[in-house]
Structure formats: C-alpha cells, structure tokens
Structure 1
C-alpha cells in the first residue's frame, strides 16, 4: 500500500509543482496518472522513489515513511521501488543479462557486480523473468542491438529483479510505436496481476490508460482533479484535466473557496 499525504514539491521560490497532493494506491492495482505536460506527473513518481526530494508531506510505503529516510535506510527502501523509464536507461555496451542484473545492485556486494559474479539464484530468476516477457533468447546480446520494445522489456525485468513492493512506470510507452505500446501496457497489466504488485503508471495515451488500468488519476497544475474508474472519465472530466481554467483562475477559485469556508 502506498499512501501519500499533503505532498508538496517546490523548486526554488517558484510555484509548487505538487500542491498538497493526497493519493492512495492499494496492493494488486494498476493505476494510471494522466494530465497535460507540466501537470506534475513525473515529479510525483520521482518524489516517491526520492529521485526528487519532496518539499513537505508524507509518503508511506507499507508503513515505511520514505520522506525521512537517509543513507543506508534510504538505499534499502529504494531497492524495493521498481522504476521503468521512458528512455529505458539501459547501459548500451552491456548485455541484456548484465542490464537485468543491475536490478540486484542494492542486494549484492559491489565486487560481485564489478566482476560480473552474479549469484546463481539471481541468474535463474533473471532467466525466468526474461522468458516470461519474451527476451530470454537475447540474454547475451548487447542492449544497443535491441529494438525499442525489446529494450523496454529489459527495463521491466530489471525493475522486477529488485523484488519491488511497488512498480513505478514513467511514460513507459512514449518512445514506442502504437502496437508495441499496447504490448507493453498489456504486459504490465498481466505482471501486476501475476505478481500481486501495485503499479503506478504516468502516461499520455488516455486510450491505453482506459483499456489497461483499473483506475485513472487526472492531474492539473500539481493537484488531483479526477480519481475514478475508466468508465467515469467522460468528456467533462477530460476537459477538466486537459483544457480547464488557467492556473491563475484555478488558484483564485481555490482561494475564494477557502475564504468562504473560513467565514
């Protein structure tokens, strides 16, 4: 279970990118985050795994408060948060197996990784997962010899090798063609079910969000303005997420509403 309470992220003295955001993601669910560019979707995911430092608020993952962790406790917590990136983030000169084993770096001594002396059980697990996603036959192939879809499958397996408590996916299909995009989304959906794993996906393709996720969260200007099942995302909700009032108008309306409550 992921619980986020009153999360704020501000860069410098500017307006917050995330504004007192609340969100819960229970186990075994696939949740998509939609919204226009600049809504705060990627920042939210990066705050969860502490690639970006939150300004304030609480992020609880299975009762562990992530925002207060430092050094070794933070490293231990991060290894249980799998991350799939839009740009794949593979090491091109390494083989598929070596890239996949990068998911175990938080668990094995540095010398093992440096010498490519991976534990036998990790190699066996990697082959099982690669077979599951259809890339086992590429185990000894360099990452830069793969197609986009194959590279993203390597990224998925690398994240799963962390034995994560939650899987975060930041625009996992943005660099892929439409057919491959659907295949990756279907794969994430099935893996979440098979592994009983909560998955939080930042995605621009609303059609894929409605087809492959159980719940959709719509963000605008750092706030959640829609949270529901795909069937509830009608045109009115879409307009609110993508073509609602300007940020200044929204802030004014929010202050006005707050003033009325206060009086």
Structure 2
C-alpha cells in the first residue's frame, strides 16, 4: 500500500507545487492522475521515488517511510518503485536485453554490470517478460532501431525487472500515436492484474484514463480535487479540474489560513 500524508513540495520561496496532499493506493488498482500542466502531477510521482525531495509530509510504501531514508536504505527502497518514463530513457546504443537488464542494477555488483555478466535467472526473467509484452524477438536489437511503442515496452519490462512493489508511469503514452497509446495503456492495466501490482499513471488523455484505469485522481494547482471511479468524472468535475485559475486557488489558501 502507498500512503501519502500531508505532502508538501515547494521550490525556493515560491508557492508550493504540492499542497498538503493526501493519497492512498491499495492492491492491484490502476490509478490515473489527470490535470492541467502545472497541477503537480509529475512532481507527485517524482516525490514518491525521491527523484525530487519533498519539503514536508509522509510517503509510506508497504510500511516503509520513504521520506526519511538516506544512502543505501534509499537505494534499496528505490528498487521497489518501478518507473516508466514519457521519453523512454533508454540507452540507444545498447540492445533491448542490455536496457532491460539495467532494471537489475540495484541487485548485482558494479563489476557484473560493467562486464554485462547478468545472472541466468535475470536473463530468464527478462525473456519471460519480453515475451509477455511482445518484444522477445528484439532482444539483441539496438534500442534506437525500435518504434516508439516497442521502446516503451522495453521501458515497461525494465521497470518490472526491478521486482517493484508499485509501478509509476509519467505520461507513458504522450510520445505515441493513438493506437499504440491504447495498446500501452491496456498492457499496463493487464500487467497490474497479472502481477497484483498497483500502478499510478500521470496522464493527459482523459479518455484513456476513463477507459483503462480503475480510479481517477484529478489535481488542480497542487491539490487533489477529485478522487473517484471513472464513471463519476462528469462535466462538472472536468470543469473543476481544468477550468480553475491560480488566483482562485490562492484565495482558497487565504480562506483556509484565516
């Protein structure tokens, strides 16, 4: 279970990007986060895996308080948080297998990684996952020779090779055509059920969020203002998520503080 409590992220002396945010995700649910640019969606994901340091608040994953971890303990915790990126984040000159095995870097020695001496069990698991997502035939192909959808499938397998307890996806379909986007969203949904893995997806495409996820969280200027099943996302809810103004939100802050 992921439990976020009273999370605040502030850059410098400006207004907080995340404002006392609470969020709980359990089981194998697929949860999408929607909202306009600047709502804090990507910052939220990056606070969870500590790519961005929270200003205050608590982020707990299966009983481990992530915000207090440092050094080796933080590296160990990050192994359990898979991340799928919008821009794929692959090493183009490496093969698909080599990119996929980078998901195991937190588990093997530096020497083994440099020499590409991957454990047999890791190779077996990689082939198993690549077969599942339809890219096993590209195991020895350089990443820069793949299509966008194939590259994103490599990114998904790399994240799953970490044996994660939660999977985060930051705009995983933004660089893909509509058909491929639907395939990737369907894949993430299916894998969540098969692996009993909670998945948290930051996404701009509301139609895909409604079709492929179990729950939608709507953010506006650092706050969660909608959290319900996709069927409950009506026009009124959409207007509250996408039509608000920063000025109105600051007025709410002042009222809350008075």
Same fold by TM-score greater than 0.5: yes
Aligned residues: 258
Superposition RMSD in Å: 0.7
What is the 5 A alignment of 1:8-47?
8-47=8-47
Aligned counterpart, 2:235: 235
In structure 1, how many angstroms separate the alpha carbons of the residues matched to 2:218 and 2:197?
22
In structure 2, how many angstroms separate the alpha carbons of the residues matched to 1:215 and 1:8?
23
In structure 1, how many angstroms separate the alpha carbons of the residues matched to 2:256 and 2:61?
32
Aligned counterpart, 2:124: 124
The 1:102–1:11 alpha-carbon spacing in structure 2 relative to 1, beyond 3 Å, is same
What is the 5 A alignment of 1:198-209?
198-209=198-209
What are the Cα deviations for residues 192-244 of structure 1, in whole angstroms up to 9, with x where unaligned?
A: 00000000000000000000000000000000000000000000000000012
Aligned counterpart, 2:254: 255
Q: SS of 2:180's equivalent?
A: helix
Deviation of the 1:250 alpha carbon: 2.0
In structure 2, how many angstroms separate the alpha carbons of the residues matched to 1:17 and 1:253?
15
Aligned counterpart, 1:148: 148
Aligned counterpart, 1:193: 193
What is the 5 A alignment of 1:152-167?
152-167=152-167
Aligned counterpart, 1:218: 218
Runs ≥4 residues deviating over 3 A: none
In structure 1, how many angstroms separate the alpha carbons of the residues matched to 2:100 and 2:11?
33
Aligned counterpart, 2:101: 101
TM-score, scaled relative to structure 2:
0.99
In structure 2, how many angstroms separate the alpha carbons of the residues matched to 1:66 and 1:257?
28
Deviation of the 1:258 alpha carbon: 5.0
In structure 2, how many angstroms separate the alpha carbons of the residues matched to 1:143 and 1:256?
52
In structure 2, how many angstroms separate the alpha carbons of the residues matched to 1:257 and 1:106?
44
Unaligned runs of 5+ in 2: none
